[in-house]
């Protein structure tokens, strides 16, 4: 049994967090992660729900499915017309949620609100300087997102190996590893680098309880670590997504002389188009997030099978590593 600061803080068995994923962090998956015999922490993605009222209903559905801890993710998006972040936050708190994952720019007001309500906050960062700023705002745990991750890895292009080692030197609150983790070996490595646990997204997309189309799950299994691409590089809002016809068209437009404006690619990257990928099963229909951990995924287990296997693998590797240390004569 693995016991870390994270397992004690969240009252979970295995130090694994299912990160917030747009269109994926729904009650069935969230409850399965939290319910698994070696329970992790499932997280509802607030902005997948069309309104704060809909989020309330998703929280209630999740609570019917599990009596274990689960959280809510609220990601602050770079948009002209921002969602009702305050409404989502208040709805979740009023429904009794006490664990939140936050991400994005200027999280201060959101963090201040959650802490004023006695909630625990995990904040996702892609740089040490941003992690230090979040720590000053009072977050309880930092999620250190390496360049390997799906979604937005920041603009510094620093891989998890160095980023986590820097975190061990610079941070004075618990942190977890995010990006590049899909199995027990990755969990053991993260713990060796000083992390109190891990955050996984792509790996949980490819589980029985994930609501995305089976064709997309099988596409993940068939893919390798070379099947992702970065878009929005020229717009300084880099995102790692699955390499398909649409994402490569976006990359081609960005490479044109003079670069691209968001208006040039707006229709290609529309969120609703990406959502339909998960519904119709066509991997080339739109933009969808995927991490390079696809190269480590070769099956579609239940969340319970996945977490039990990760725990077993990590414990075995840690025991094996400890046998390398020999007593001095």
pLDDT digits (tens, 9 = 90+) for 303-323: 999 999 999 999 999 999 999
- 190 sits in which H/E element: helix 184-192
C-alpha 187/C-alpha 196 separation (Å) is: 10
Mean pLDDT of 207-229: 98
pLDDT of residue 1: 86
pLDDT band at 329 (very low <50, low <70, confident <90, very high): low
Question: What is the average pLDDT value for the chain, to the nearest integer?
Answer: 96
Read off the tokens for 235: 């717009």
Q: Would you say 195 and 173 are in contact if contact means Cβ atoms under 8 Å apart?
A: no
pLDDT band at 79 (very low <50, low <70, confident <90, very high): confident
Mean pLDDT of 136-162: 96
Q: What is the reported pTM?
A: 0.95
Residue of 139, 84, 80 whose CA lies nearest to 112:
139
C-alpha 44/C-alpha 87 separation (Å) is: 15
Distances, alpha carbon 22 to alpha carbons 195, 209, 216, 298, in Å: 25, 16, 15, 23
pLDDT of residue 269: 96
3-state secondary structure of 301: coil
3-state secondary structure of 138: coil
Mean pLDDT of 277-281: 98
Pairing of strands 198-200, 16-18: parallel
DSSP-assigned letters across all residues of 229-287: EEESTTTT--EEEE-SHHHHHHHHHHTSTT---HHHHTTTT-HHHHHHHHHH--TTSS-
Asked if the model's pLDDT at residue 186 lies above 80, the reply is yes
pLDDT of residue 80: 74
Domains of the chain: 5-212+300-322 (3.20.20.70), 228-289 (no CATH)
Q: Would you say 82 and 104 are in contact if contact means Cβ atoms under 8 Å apart?
A: no
Distances, alpha carbon 221 to alpha carbons 24, 28, 287, in Å: 17, 21, 18
pLDDT of residue 61: 98
pLDDT of residue 326: 85
């Amino acid at each position: 049994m693995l016991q870390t600061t994270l397992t004690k803080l969240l009252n979970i068995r295995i130090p694994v967090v299912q990160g917030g994923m747009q269109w994926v962090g729904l009650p069935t998956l969230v409850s399965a992660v939290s319910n698994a015999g070696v329970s992790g922490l499932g997280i509802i993605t607030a902005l997948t729900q069309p309104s704060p009222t809909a989020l309330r209903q998703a929280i209630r559905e999740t609570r019917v499915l599990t009596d274990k801890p689960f959280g809510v993710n609220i990601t602050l998006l770079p948009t002209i017309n921002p969602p009702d972040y305050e409404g989502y936050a208040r709805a979740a708190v009023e429904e009794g949620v006490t664990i939140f994952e936050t991400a994005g720019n200027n999280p201060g007001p959101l963090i201040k609100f959650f802490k004023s309500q006695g909630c625990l906050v995990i904040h996702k960062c892609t740089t040490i300087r941003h992690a230090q700023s979040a720590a000053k705002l009072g977050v309880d745990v930092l999620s250190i997102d390496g360049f390997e991750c799906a979604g937005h890895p920041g603009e510094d292009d620093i891989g998890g190996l160095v980023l986590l080692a820097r975190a061990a030197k610079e941070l004075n609150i618990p942190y977890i590893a995010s990006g590049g983790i899909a199995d027990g070996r990755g969990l053991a490595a993260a713990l060796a680098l000083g992390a109190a646990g891990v955050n996984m997204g792509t790996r949980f997309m490819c589980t029985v309880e994930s609501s995305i189309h089976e064709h997309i799950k099988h596409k993940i299994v068939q893919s390798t670590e070379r099947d992702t691409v970065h878009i929005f590089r020229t717009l300084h809002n880099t995102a790692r997504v699955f390499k398909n016809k649409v994402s490569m068209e976006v990359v081609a437009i960005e490479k044109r002389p003079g670069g691209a404006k968001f208006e040039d690619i707006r229709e290609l990257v529309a969120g609703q188009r990406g959502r339909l990928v998960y519904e119709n099963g066509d991997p080339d229909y739109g933009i969808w997030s995927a991490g390079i951990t696809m190269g480590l995924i070769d099956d579609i287990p239940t969340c319970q099978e996945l977490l039990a296997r990760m725990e077993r693998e990590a414990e075995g590797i840690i025991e094996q590593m400890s046998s390398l240390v020999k007593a001095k004569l």
